[in-house]
Amino acid sequence: MNSEFKDFYEPLGLKQSASQEEIKQVFRKLARKYHPDVNKSAGSEARFKKISEAYEVLKDPQKRADYDQLYSYWKQGGNFRGSPGGNRASSNHFKQGNFSFDVDEIFRDLFGGQPGGAGPMGGMGGMGGMGGFGNFGNFNTQHSGRTSPFANTNRAKPQPKTVEISLEEAFSGCKRQFSITEHGRQNKQILVTIPAGVTEGQIIRLGAKPGDKSSPMNDLTFKVHIKPSKLYRVEGRDVYLDLPVAPWEAALGATVTVPTLGGSVRLKIPANSQTGKTMALKGRGLPGNKAGTQFIVLKVVLPPAKNDSQKAIYNKMAEEMAFDPRSDMVN
C-alpha cells in the first residue's frame, strides 16, 4: 500500500517558521470554531480531527523538531512512496544501500505512538501495511555520510543546544557564536542568528550550506531560553511591568514615563486608580505576526513618614478623609 506524507502545518494554515505560541493560538481559535459540540455543519468533525492530530505533534518542541526533519525532506521533493528500488527485509524493517532502519521504531520515537497510530504517514492501519516503503529516492543512497532521521535509529537523537539570551535580545534579535565539528575539523565556528520576536522554548533550526547535505549543521537545532528580566515578566509574546506610583498620582491621576522594550512612552494614569489596576500597551510586547502586548500593573507605593511634618500630613489625611480600608470586612 502506498501512503502520502501528512502536512501538519496545512490544517492550521501555518508555515514551518511559525512559533510555538502562534501554533497554540491558532489551534485554540480553530478548535473553538470546528468543535463538533459547537459546529454542526458537514465536515466540521473531520476538520476538527485533522486540526487536533496536527497540534498533538507540533505542540511539543522535540516532536516538532523530529517531524520537521521529515517535513523539510518532503518539501524538497523527497518521496515517501514505496518503489521497486527498496529492499524490504521484513514486515517493518527496511534496508537501502548502507542503511538499515525499523519504521515502527522511527515513528514510535518521533510520535510516541504504537504502530498503526496517527503520525505523518497516518491512516495506514499499521506500519506493516506500507508495502514497498523501502526507497526514499536519493535521500539515503547518495548521502550515506549524512545524519538523518532514518539512519542508525539506535543512536540517541541530537538534543537542541540551549542558547541563552536576554529579553531585550529576544525583542531586537541577536547573534551567537558556537563551535561544532564538521568533516573531521574541530571547533568550526558558526554564527547563529536569533531572529527578533523569539519566545521561550522556541526551536531554531540551522540549515547547512547549499549543496552540502553531509554537513552536521543539517541536524543542528537551538532551544531559546530567555533569562529573567529585572523589570519585566514574559508570557509568550506578552510582557508585564509592575509600575510603582505615588498615592497622589493614583488618587488625582497623572501622566508618567513608562519603559518598554522598544523605548519609553508616556502613559496617562486615571484618577482614583488602585494597586493592581492593569493597563495595556498593544504591540509593545515581543514582535511577531501578531505582536504581543505590554501590560502595566499599577502598584501604589506610600512614602515613609520620616519627621513630624510628614507625620502631620498623614494625620491630616486621616482627619479629613475618614477613610476605612477595611469597611467591607465587617461581619
Average pLDDT of 72-77?
68
Residue ranges making up the domain that contains 242: 232-320
Cα separation, 109 vs 85, whole angstroms: 26
pLDDT at position 109: 52
The number of folded domains in the chain is 3
Over residues 286-328, the pLDDT tens digits come to 999 899 999 999 999 999 999 999 999 999 999 998 888 888 8
pLDDT at position 78: 56
Confidence class for position 87, pLDDT limits 50, 70, 90 = very low
Q: Which amino acid is at 298?
A: L
Over residues 260-294, the pLDDT tens digits come to 999 999 999 999 999 999 999 999 999 998 999 99
Domain closes at, from 226, 243, 272: 226
Residue 152 lies in a domain: no
The answer to whether residues 106 and 21 belong to one domain is yes
The answer to whether residues 292 and 310 belong to one domain is yes
Cα separation, 277 vs 273, whole angstroms: 7
The answer to whether residues 15 and 119 belong to one domain is yes
pTM, full prediction: 0.51
In sequence order, what are the beta bridge partners of 256? Answer: 267
Coil, helix or strand at residue 194? strand
Nearest to 253 by CA among 293, 208, 300, 218: 300
Question: What is the enclosing helix (H) or strand (E) of 272?
Answer: none
**Choice among 189-203, 251-265, 289-303 with the minimum mean pLDDT:** 189-203
Which grid coordinates are listed for 54?
A: 496536527
